[in-house]
Chain A
Amino acid sequence: MSAPRIINENFQRLLWPLVALGLILLFNFLFTPGFINLEIKDGHLFGSMIDILNRGAPVMLLSIGMTLVFATGGIDLSVGAVIAISGALAATIIRPDYVKGVLEYGELRPLLVVVSIPLIVSIIAGLWNGMLVAYVGIQPIIATLILMVAGRGIAQLITKGQIVVFIHEPFQFIGSGFLFGLPFPISIVLFMCAIAYFLTRKTALGMFIEAVGANPVASRFMGVRERWIKISVYMFCGLCSGIAGLIICADIKAADANNAGFLLELDAIASVIIGGTMWGGRYTILGSIIGTLIIQSLTTTILTRGIAPEITLVFKAVVIICVALVQSENFRQIFSSRLAKLKAR
């Protein structure tokens, strides 16, 4: 008897993001020729919509982690820098001597090593953020700013300031392979969504995260391990960023410490906000994924319409403002009272 209410509540939160996404897609169906086409070549799916999903995969991963961090009342500005670190590590593991000017590869590094070391380091980066927030008590925006700035420097130290290009077939699969006809990055996103869902909703973690975010004092008085919870979400966010870093690096077959993941933290934050997750409290990962899709489809739309890419940013801003306004209870109240006044006239 009580279940429909919850579904209803979740649906309400997802309603406006879905409407926004629907509008953008509708626009494309009508005005972008070939937008709805899906082709199967060599058993792989191709098409504009698959492209949106594929390109959006790194930010989707970031927004999964960011959603949980947001729910605890935090923010992680360092995700872009962690992307750079993770990619730089992977590339240097593949070609350790490239930075010294040696072009030969040496032995082929096993995929497990290439993948696991960057991910472990990414989790440690998250641990660092979490410790600063939970134990040192620094405000999340400041605490993660430290790694946002320093992280890119660390990535550059790893690559000695160079762009490390490489060839490593098994690793490249992460960026450009296909699984069950879908680009592999999409599979990774689905997998991480499932992991996040099971970790938070099939255990008590999700409830603790929301409790800590909504009222840290009351949570502590109930014996919830506030610090532990915070640290774990930052670590998970670090892991998500690390995976995103591997995808980006594997896709372009190079590690660019300067530009990999540059400003992606802002896209991730925007996705979470558009998706309807409150700062501190209730969260919805699905909403954040929809948020990313809105941003990504908007970007793709602008590019395919032949509008100058610089304008993308303006469009993004407009969409964020619109969705944020619609989500804001204050705004809705003002808006509906104005509407009522107009009608009264």
Chain B
Amino acid sequence: MGGSEIIVQIKGLSKRFPGVMALSNVDLELKRGEIHGLMGENGAGKSTLIKVLTGLYSRDAGEIFLENEPFELHSPEEAPTFGISTVYQEINLIPALSVAENIYIGREPTRFGRIDWKSITARAKKAIKKLDLDIDVTLPVSSFSVAIQQLVAITRALDISGKVLVLDEPTSSLDTAEVEQLFSVMRKLKDDGIAILFITHFIDQAYEITDRITVLRNGELVGQFETEKLPRIELIAKMLGRDVTESQGESGTASGTETIKEKEVFYQIRGMERQGSISAFDLDICTGEVLGLAGLLGSGRTEIARLLFGIDRPQKGETRLEGSAVSISSPRKAIGHYFGFCPEDRKTEGIISDLTVRENIILAIQARNGIFNIIPRKKQDEIVNKFIKALDIKTPGAEQIVNNLSGGNQQKVIIARWLASNPKFLILDEPTRGIDVGAKAEIQKLIKSLSREEGMAILFISSELEEVIRCSDRVAVLRDRNKLAELTGDQIEENAIMHIIASEDVQ
């Protein structure tokens, strides 16, 4: 079989969800024996594309060819019969069952109507061997590391059908050695002529393993590229939807820690580290300043926010708050020091959707006050109405259930919650995600005025580079869970940031 034979061809694929065009007119071709990277930021349409390919969603327009035959799936169960199998980010194995059972669950070989355990074990052993893996297949899956579990999931997928393997962010919970193990298996499968569609947001990994890369952005195809011929900076620019101008190449790479002079450091972090989420970093949070975090999806932005707010605990690191050493080990402590945090995932971490606007705003202050020191209802209404007006929250009233508000207004409710608590330091993780343009501009304006006029320290996280640049006084650039550099003043500029993200010198 020739190495360049096309096995899957997607042409003009479109998928519409109520209110959004998740995919519009996307093409993709997958060849036998290649590892094809699928990359893009949040909302690019990667997962939609996979779900259409594997039959979880139906498509609205476009064609898919499998070995030159047009084909259409009606349910995900059909995918394996066509030779397409998928391994998702969250491993879908049953932890308590053995490796062998997991590989054959749902399609156990039988003898005289009974499950043939001997042949299950034997066949599982053989299948596992194919990946150069040597483990006891009778042990429960939960007794192995995440990496091995990942490989077991791949074994299962390949044993069902072995033409096309879709790997959806398989490396996001693996450490370096484990990633290497996975990659060597992927290379072996590639040599066996299997086509692998590899979704990742790690730039380094994409360059290490893929032959070609397809980039999506906002549901549209940016392009399909030979990995070798695509400079890193180009890839990043394409993912972010920006242009690169070559001239200002290296100007921004210098670390700018010495430039913090007049600004008073509110919260100082040195050598903070948490394994598997972010490697050691220093950060100064200053009063009256917006510190932006720039980086691609999965670069460690949210991880930093969670560490600073005490949700996750660092393994190492020293922290000083207004000059004296502190350890912020829980959100409650953080709030006690007048921190506030608007989380990225509004629905599950931010709002309490069954409660009213008033309760959602009051809760954080009330939690700090304690149970018995209740804020009188009149005062509550005063506070809530003040912020409904100040932030222009569109709600019929303070007693409206938050769930009935639009996304942008829910976001404002969360911001109001923290503003009501008079924070000194506010962490905003993607505060403008998924809200309309008008509300977005208002929130950006608010961020600036809070830092300039109220002297608040703000940590601003956004996957939109342009927004980070516009709002921030200082920008820390992240890539692959490393803080690479800090930029201030005129250094804060698109090209500089993209060049830093693209630079290869930092491991």
Question: Residues on A close to B: CB < 8 A?
Answer: 1-3, 5-6, 202-205, 207-208, 210-211, 214-215, 217-225, 278, 281-282
Closest CB in chain A relative to B195 CB, distance in Å: 39
Residue among B341, B371, B398 making CB contact with A203, cutoff 8 Å: B371
Most buried by B among A3, A202, A225: A225
Q: Which residue of A lies closest to B417 (CB)?
A: A222
Q: A2-B399, A204-B367, A222-B363 are in contact. List 14 more A-B contacts (CB 8 A).
A: A2-B397, A205-B371, A207-B363, A207-B366, A210-B352, A210-B359, A211-B359, A218-B343, A218-B350, A218-B351, A223-B334, A223-B368, A224-B363, A281-B355
A208 contacts across to B, CB distance below 8 A: 363, 366-367, 371
Instruction: Decide: B374 and A221 in contact? CB cutoff 8 A.
Output: no
Between-chain CB contacts (< 8 Å), 22 pairs? A2-B399, A5-B399, A203-B371, A204-B369, A205-B371, A207-B366, A208-B366, A208-B371, A210-B354, A210-B359, A214-B355, A215-B354, A217-B349, A218-B343, A218-B348, A220-B331, A221-B331, A221-B341, A222-B364, A223-B336, A223-B367, A225-B367
Q: How large is the interface on B (under 10, 10 to 19, 20 to 34, 35 or more residues)?
A: 35 or more
CA distance in complex: A202, B372 (Å): 8
Residue among B332, B353, B375 making CB contact with A225, cutoff 8 Å: B332
Number of A-B contacts (CB under 8 A): 89
Instruction: Decide: A204 and B371 in contact? CB cutoff 8 A.
Output: yes
CA distance in complex: A21, B351 (Å): 36
Instruction: Decide: A223 and B331 in contact? CB cutoff 8 A.
Output: yes
Give a binary string over B338-381; 1 marks a CB under 8 Å from any A CB, 0 the rest: 00010100001111111100010011101111111111000001
A224 contacts across to B, CB distance below 8 A: 363, 367
CA distance in complex: A203, B375 (Å): 9
CA distance in complex: A207, B352 (Å): 11
B364 contacts across to A, CB distance below 8 A: 222-223
B335, CB-defined interface residue at 8 Å: yes
Closest CB in chain B relative to A209 CB, distance in Å: 10
Given contacts A6-B399, A203-B374, contact A211 B331 (CB under 8 A): no
CA distance in complex: A320, B84 (Å): 47
Given contacts A203-B372, A223-B335, contact A2 B398 (CB under 8 A): yes
B311, CB-defined interface residue at 8 Å: yes
Instruction: Decide: B355 and A210 in contact? CB cutoff 8 A.
Output: yes
Instruction: Decide: A278 and B363 in contact? CB cutoff 8 A.
Output: no
B343 contacts across to A, CB distance below 8 A: 218, 221
Closest CB in chain A relative to B281 CB, distance in Å: 22
Instruction: Decide: A214 and B398 in contact? CB cutoff 8 A.
Output: no
Residue among A204, A215, A217, A219 making CB contact with B374, cutoff 8 Å: A204
Closest CB in chain B relative to A324 CB, distance in Å: 19
A3 contacts across to B, CB distance below 8 A: 399
B353 contacts across to A, CB distance below 8 A: 214-215
Closest CB in chain B relative to A146 CB, distance in Å: 21
CA distance in complex: A202, B363 (Å): 15
B366 contacts across to A, CB distance below 8 A: 204, 207-208
A207 contacts across to B, CB distance below 8 A: 355, 359, 362-363, 366
Closest CB in chain A relative to B444 CB, distance in Å: 23
B399 contacts across to A, CB distance below 8 A: 2-3, 5-6
Residue among A214, A223, A225, A278 making CB contact with B352, cutoff 8 Å: A214
CA distance in complex: A225, B336 (Å): 13
Q: Which residue of A lies closest to B397 (CB)?
A: A2
For the complex of A and B, 9 pairs with smallest distance between CB atoms = A2-B399, A223-B335, A223-B332, A223-B367, A222-B364, A214-B354, A215-B352, A281-B354, A224-B367
B374 contacts across to A, CB distance below 8 A: 202-204
Residue among A203, A205, A211 making CB contact with B363, cutoff 8 Å: A211
B331 contacts across to A, CB distance below 8 A: 220-223
Q: Which residue of A lies closest to B377 (CB)?
A: A3
Instruction: Decide: A215 and B397 in contact? CB cutoff 8 A.
Output: no
CA distance in complex: A6, B400 (Å): 9
Q: Which residue of A lies closest to B399 (CB)?
A: A2
B309 contacts across to A, CB distance below 8 A: 221
Closest CB in chain B relative to A75 CB, distance in Å: 18
CA distance in complex: A281, B353 (Å): 10
CB contact list, B98-148 vs A, under 8 A: none
CA distance in complex: A217, B371 (Å): 19
CA distance in complex: A202, B352 (Å): 21
CA distance in complex: A5, B358 (Å): 13
Closest CB in chain B relative to A186 CB, distance in Å: 29
Closest CB in chain B relative to A319 CB, distance in Å: 26
B397 contacts across to A, CB distance below 8 A: 1-2, 5
A2 contacts across to B, CB distance below 8 A: 381, 397-399
CA distance in complex: A227, B162 (Å): 49
Closest CB in chain B relative to A7 CB, distance in Å: 10
CA distance in complex: A222, B343 (Å): 11
Q: Which residue of B lies closest to A214 (CB)?
A: B354
Given contacts A2-B398, A2-B399, contact A222 B371 (CB under 8 A): no
Closest CB in chain B relative to A160 CB, distance in Å: 41
A221 contacts across to B, CB distance below 8 A: 309, 311, 331, 341, 343, 349-350
Closest CB in chain B relative to A341 CB, distance in Å: 24
Q: Which residue of A lies closest to B370 (CB)?
A: A204
CA distance in complex: A205, B343 (Å): 24
Instruction: Decide: A219 and B311 in contact? CB cutoff 8 A.
Output: no
Most buried by A among B334, B354, B368: B354
B334 contacts across to A, CB distance below 8 A: 223
A1 contacts across to B, CB distance below 8 A: 397
